[in-house]
Amino acid sequence: MIVDAHHHLWDPSRREYPWMPPALAAPFTTDDLRQETALAGVDRTVLVQTVSSAAETAEFCATAAASEGLIAGVVGWVDHTRDVPTQLVGLAHAEFLRGVRHQVEDEPDPDWLRRPDVVAAVRSARGLVVDLLVRFDQLPAAVALLDAVPDGEFVLDHGAKPPVGTDGFEPWRAGTAELARRENVVCKLSGLFTLDHQELLGPAVDHLFTVFGPDRLVFGTDWPVSTLALDYPAVVARTRALLDAFSDDERSAVLAGNAVRTYRL
């Protein structure tokens, strides 16, 4: 089994996506996802938020409910400065909401995750995984958040986007190693193939393998963002190639088992 634990859907004719480059400004629907996953042999997916919108979260839960089992869970947006359960009152198909996320990487303050209101909101999100979309300079604040909420469950999206080929690589390396020392966080092997300096990606991937290990790595395609570099089946194939050194059981864990456990799929 393969679980794609990180992908998106969107329709620019219905909603604005401030971060979106023109090359991605086309609808990507559940029907498109179904076609791509069938080609790549992916069985289940986790649909992840794209904008700071409670309406999108509600739509994604409804989309999962109508997907006939393909979309097994949703990571939706909630305001990370307010009590989370209050925001979810009345959410239809809430059983599909398995995690929450805010695009912290867009916050100018590298210490945004240390804010008392953010810590309180994350602490209130018990029963939901908190996905962390952070820059490398925000990793110390992410460590502080995990220490402040030791009973929380966290996922580091895209390996914190390793800034290979830049002065940020060593701080990223140190920050991810420190984060990985906390046992309540797993790391997504996702979004890596659209990074700059692909020829230098190897040491970053090796580092993530070393500090997290196969029991705390989760596969995701980051589709459709990934189409900037590779088509969907190629992302799956290239990720599987990265796992060649692992045992069969370890590969199964990264490709499916860890996602099933983490998001309770």
Q: Quote the pLDDT of residue 240.
A: 96
Structure tokens at 44: 């289940």
Q: Quote the pLDDT of residue 262.
A: 98
| Residues 111-162 pLDDT 10s | 999 999 999 999 999 999 999 999 999 999 999 999 999 999 999 999 999 9
Q: Spell out the residues 6+ positions from residue 140 whose beta carbon is closer than 8 angstroms to its own.
A: 110, 175, 178
Query: Residue 27's CB: how many other CB atoms inside 10 A?
Result: 13
Q: Spell out the residues 6+ positions from residue 257 whose beta carbon is closer than 8 angstroms to its own.
A: none
Q: How many helices (H) and strands (E) would you count in the chain?
A: 10, 8
202 to 70, 193, 224: CA distances (angstroms): 32, 11, 23
Q: Quote the pLDDT of residue 64.
A: 98
Burial of 79 per CB tally in 10 Å (0-12, 13-18, 19+): middle
CB environment 194-231: b (16+ within 10 A), e (fewer): bbeeeeebeebbebbbebbbbebbbbbbbbbbbbebbe
Q: Quote the pLDDT of residue 233.
A: 98
Q: Quote the pLDDT of residue 37.
A: 98
Q: Quote the pLDDT of residue 58.
A: 98
Residues of the chain with confidence (pLDDT) below 70: none
Which is it for the CA torsion 225, 121, 139, 143, positive or negative? Answer: negative
Q: Which of these, 216, 256, 239, 228, lies nearest to 25 by C-alpha position? A: 228
Q: Quote the pLDDT of residue 265.
A: 96
